Amino acid sequence: MSRLDVFINRMVSQRACLDFAIEQTRGMTGPVFELGLGNGRTFDHMRERMPERDIFVFERKVESNPASTPDAEMTILGDVRETLPQSLERFGPTAQLIHADLGGHNLEKNDRFAREISPLVEPMLAVGGLMVSSDKMYFSALTELPLPEGAVAGRCFVYRRDA
């Protein structure tokens, strides 16, 4: 499988998993969190599909396309290892949807980072809330859901808090 194939599978899976999570959480209150702004493509998709919801974006350095840059008051600047615990104090366990795309090209590093932040992400989700991640996460109490149609196994992961 070429790097182009892997990239396309990741993009197609992100969209399928995000669209699924957006539908599943429709009607819930509470904030949405985008972890890793990057170019802003997934942020742009999310705000287009759910304009009625508040989307807070976590990023250490904003370098997104100007067309998909969040407002300053919706941007939580800094390393997520610091801003996630701070945000848990601010918001409590209220997030209806969390999307994480924080990794780079080094798969081992991505996996180590996913292990590190899983316990920081897990308590932020409300009951019934969904978490979509490009990396496998290591949660203690969330349920991993079957992938929606169109998503490619291993390219996206979806988790739900049931209780």
Ligand X SMILES: C[S@@+](CC[C@H](N)C(=O)[O-])C[C@H]1O[C@@H](n2cnc3c(N)ncnc32)[C@H](O)[C@@H]1O
Residue choice 13, 42, 96, 118 for contact with ligand X (CB under 6 A): 42
Give the largest Cα separation in the chain, rounded: 43
Show contacts with ligand X in window 77-96 (CB under 6 A): 79-81
User: From start to end of 4-150, where are the E strands?
Assistant: 32-35, 55-59, 75-77, 95-100, 125-133, 143-144
Single out the segment in contact with ligand X by CB under 6 A; choices: 25-33, 54-62, 86-94, 122-130. 54-62
97 interacts with ligand X by CB under 6 A: no
* Nearer residue to ligand X within complex by CB, 38 or 128: 38
Residue choice 37, 55, 151, 158 for contact with ligand X (CB under 6 A): 37
Residue choice 10, 49, 60, 160 for contact with ligand X (CB under 6 A): 60
Q: Counting Cβ atoms within 10 Å, is residue 38 exposed (0-12), middle (13-18) or buried (19+)?
A: middle
Alpha-carbon distance 78 to 56, whole Å?
A: 13
Residue choice 101, 142, 155, 156 for contact with ligand X (CB under 6 A): 101
Q: How many CB atoms lie under 10 A from the CB of residue 94? A: 16
Residue choice 47, 59, 97, 142 for contact with ligand X (CB under 6 A): 59
The CB-of-43 to ligand X minimum distance in angstroms stands at 7
Nearest residue to ligand X by CB is 38
Q: How many CB atoms lie under 10 A from the CB of residue 24? A: 18
Count CA within 13 A, CB hemisphere, residue 153: 1
Binding site for ligand X (CB under 6 A): 36-42, 58-61, 79-81, 101-102
